Amino acid sequence: MSSPVARDRIASANPAQPLPRPGRWARLRSSDLWWSFTHKPSAMIAAAVLVFLIVTAFAAPLIAPQNTYDPAELVLWNSEIPPIWTADGQMPFLLGTDTQGRDILSAILYGSRVSILIGIGSVILSLAVGLSLGLMAGYFGGFIDNILMRIGDVLLSIPTILIAILVSAMAMQALPPELREVGAAGVLILAITLSGWVQYARMVRAQTAVERNKEYVQAAQLLKVPSRRIMLYHILPNTLTPIMVAATLNFGLAILTEATLSFLGIGMPVSQPSLGTLIRLGNQFLFSGVWWVVIFPVVQLCFIVVSVNVLGDWLRDALNPKLR
């Protein structure tokens, strides 16, 4: 592959030719963000850990020693085997097994996949709802703005965890019993979104209300660019910087909320356990000395959330113009 950077250099040496637009990769490499990333070891380590965890979670069916969704693979014979490095450890079960003979490593891999999917799903949904409502409220103002801000006020005066618990409990109740297992992930995404979108909507609304009066927007309005296009292509990109930070941190928060709900028994069912469900199941055996059943899911959860938060922290500092 001929390096895009090299091509860039040749082009700039010959001013007669028009500069070719550098490729995406080259633009990324020369950005401030990339520079601050490569000069912050903690951010690079966090990114590497996170990529590793996500890849292994999604490759769970390929690499996990056991398919934990298949009850036929669970052998009661192999129950409560401690991790491999203890005296009683047995080979295929690196991190030991639980009381039903489920391999902990496999359960964690499959569980992380569930947790990460719910985290991504709820962040995307909150972004979609929050950004579009916030844009409209900030751009049009008036009635839509008033309604939206009032709804936001109410949602912010109820603790988020309470909203999530109530919504998922009531949605589960409203679903017909045969759909409850299948729809659990969707219900959780919905419950987390309902408390999460307000923050984005408020941020975008405030920024949009400022941008709306700037000259480039007025110019676009004079050219009769449709409002939808102005909002999406002209204003939105100028509001995204703080949103990126919030979305990163909220991804971690969403995984935590999901884990909490599952731990309380109102989240993912036992048939498709997330990390929170695994911790709840393991917690019941805390006093019988089977510590590995609860510790490893806890460690995995912490690794995911800590690496997301370290990245979010770095992003906040890197994008903050005051700290440059």
Partner 1 sequence: MLVFIIKRLLNAVMVMLVVAFLAFLIFRVAGDPVELMVNEMSTQDDRDRLRESLGLNDSFITQYVRFVVNAAQGNFGISFRNGQEVLGLIAERFPATMELVLVATILSLLIGVPLGVLTAIHRGRWHSETLQFLSIVGVSLPSFVVGILLILVFSVTLGIMPAFGRGEVVQLGWWSTGLLTHSGRIALVLPAISLSLYQITLIMRLVRAEMMEVMRSDFIKFARARGVPRWRIQFRHALKNCLMPVITMTAMNVGALIAFALITETVFQWPGMGMLFIQAVTFIDIPVMSAYLCIISFIFVVLNTIVDITYALIDPRLRNATR
**Binding site residues, partner 1, CB under 8 A:** 42, 150, 153-154, 157-159, 161-162, 165-166, 169-170, 173-174, 252, 256, 259-260, 263-266, 279, 283, 286-287, 289, 291, 294-295, 298, 301-302, 305-306, 308-310, 313
Q: Are residues 169 and 266 in contact, defined by beta-carbon separation less than 8 angstroms? A: yes
64/188 with CB nearer partner 1: 188
Q: Which is nearer to partner 1, 235 or 308 (CB)?
A: 308
Compare residues 66 and 300 and give the one whose CB is closer to partner 1: 300
CB of 246 to partner 1, least distance (A): 14
CB of 90 vs partner 1, minimal distance in Å: 24
Judged by beta carbon, residue 131 or residue 294, the one nearer partner 1 is: 294
Nearest distance in Å: CB 283, partner 1: 6
Shortest approach of partner 1 to residue 175 CB, angstroms? Answer: 11
Residue 102 phi/psi, 5-degree rounding, is -85, 130
CA distances from 190 to 15, 110, 134, 197 (A): 55, 21, 19, 11
C-alpha triplet 110, 116, 117: angle, nearest 5° = 90
CB of 309 to partner 1, least distance (A): 5
Considering all CA atoms of the chain, what is the largest pairwise distance in Å, rounded to the nearest integer? 78
Q: Name residue 295's amino acid.
A: I
- Cβ closer to partner 1: 78 or 274? 274
Closest CA to 205 of 134, 128, 130: 134
* Integer Cα distance of 6 and 12 in angstroms: 10
Q: Please name which of 151, 114, 139 lies closest in space to residue 239, comparing C-alpha atoms.
A: 139
DSSP 8-state secondary structure symbol assigned to residue 287 = G
Smallest separation (angstroms) from partner 1 to the CB of 2:
41
Nearer to partner 1, 230 or 292 (CB): 292
